Structure 1
C-alpha cells in the first residue's frame, strides 16, 4: 500500500486533480466530508494542514506527498523532491504601503530594523540575512495584511495569487521573493524501498515544460 499525504485548504483541489492525472483513484477522496484518512484500493490518503504535510513524509508516515514549495522552504525536515507539478502557482512577496517602495529600491541598509509580519519566519529571516539586513520578524498565523494598517509592522512577507487582498488593504508588492507551486515529494525510505512503485507514478507526470522531473 502506498500512503499519500495531501494538503487541505486552497490547494486541495489541485492536489486531488493531480492525483487523478497520475492514475490514482480519487472518487472517495472527492467526497471525504470530515474524513482525514481515506483508503481507495491500494492507496491511502492522509489529509493534513499544509504545514504538517512534510512532517508526515519525514517521519515515514506517508510515502509521498504534495506540498507547496512555500511550505517546503519554510520547514527544515528531510525529504526528496520528485517533481514540480506546476499547479497552485503564486508568489512569495514582500508587500507594504506604497511609501516603502523607495526603501526597497535603494541600498539594503535602508531596510535595517523594519518590522516584518509573516507566516513564514524562516523564509523571512533567510531572505533578509542574505542581504545582510537585520529586521524584526513578527510571526503571525492569519490575516497578516492587517499588520501594517494597524501599525504592528512596516510590511509583510506572504504568498500572493491574485493580489486582490493586498489591494483591499492598500498594500503593494515591494519585492518578489520566489515563485510557489505544488511539489511532489517523498521520504528517503520510500524512495529506496518503493522506488518501482514511485517510478510508475512519475512516468505519468509531465512538468510545465513537458518533461518528467525527479531526483534521487
Structure 2
C-alpha cells in the first residue's frame, strides 16, 4: 500500500455533497457512518485520511501540506488567496455572493454611492469586498463579522452586507433585498503544489473519476 492521501472535507452544507460525490466515484465512505463528532476518518480500503474542517480552513491546510487535496467553495478560495492548485470545478454547492441592504434603505444607499459618500459594508469576506469596491472606485468602510452578517443592517452598524446566498430565504426573512451580484461560487477541488507532483497518479485518478460522475 502506498502513502496515505490526506483529504480536507468542509463542514456544513458542502460536507454531504462531497461525500455523495466520493461515493458515486466508488470510494469507501463507510468510515463516516455514526461518527458525527469525529474530525478524522480513515478508509483502509482506499488508504485515504479525511480531515473535517471549517470551509475557510480547507485551503490553509492544503497550502501548508497538512492535506494533499481538498474540496472548497470558490468564494473561500478568492478570500483566502492561498497558493494551491485549483484542479476542478465540480459544479455543485452553487451559491452567489451578493450585496444586500434593508428595503427601506435602498434609496439612501444609492445616493451615497452616487455622491461618493462612505458606505458601511458588513461581511465575512473583507478581502473580496476591498478588491470589489476598489475596482469600482467606491469609498467604503468594511466591517468584518464572523457570523449572522444579516444582523448588521438591522442593528444599524452597516448599510449593506456582502454575503453568500443560495436560495435568498435568509434575505427575505430579515427584510433584506439584493442590490448587486458580485460573484458566482461552486465547489472546487484543490491540491497542495508539492503533493500534486509527488502523488500525481492518485490525484489524477480522483479527478478523472469525479469528472465522470458530474457530467
TM-score in terms of structure 1 length: 0.90
Q: Verify: 1:120 aligned to 2:125, yes or no.
A: yes
> Paired residue for 1:199?
204
Distance 1:155 1:200, change over 3 A: same
Instruction: Pick the aligned partner of 1:37 from 37, 40, 43.
Output: 40
Segments of 5+ residues of structure 1 without an aligned counterpart are: 211-216
Total equivalences in the alignment: 210
What is the CA distance between 1:32 and its match in structure 2?
2.4
**RMSD over aligned Cα atoms:** 2.1
> Secondary structure of 1:11's partner?
helix
> Paired residue for 2:11?
8
Q: Is the CA contact 2:121–2:159 (under 8 Å) kept in the aligned structure 1? A: yes
Distance 2:7 2:107 in 1: 46
Q: Flag the structure with higher helix content.
A: 2
Distance 1:8 1:33, change over 3 A: same
Decide which moves more: 92-101 or 144-153. Answer: 92-101
What is the CA distance between 1:157 and its match in structure 2?
0.2
Q: Is the CA contact 1:84–1:182 (under 8 Å) kept in the aligned structure 2? A: yes
Instruction: Pick the aligned partner of 1:160 from 149, 160, 165.
Output: 165
Q: Is the CA contact 2:71–2:188 (under 8 Å) kept in the aligned structure 1? A: yes
What is the CA distance between 1:103 and its match in structure 2?
6.9
Q: Verify: 1:47 aligned to 2:45, yes or no.
A: no
Distance 1:159 1:208 in 2: 26
Distance 1:16 1:118 in 2: 29
Decide which moves more: 183-192 or 91-100. Answer: 91-100
Q: Verify: 1:25 aligned to 2:33, yes or no.
A: no
Distance 1:209 1:57, change over 3 A: closer
Q: Is the CA contact 2:130–2:142 (under 8 Å) kept in the aligned structure 1? A: yes
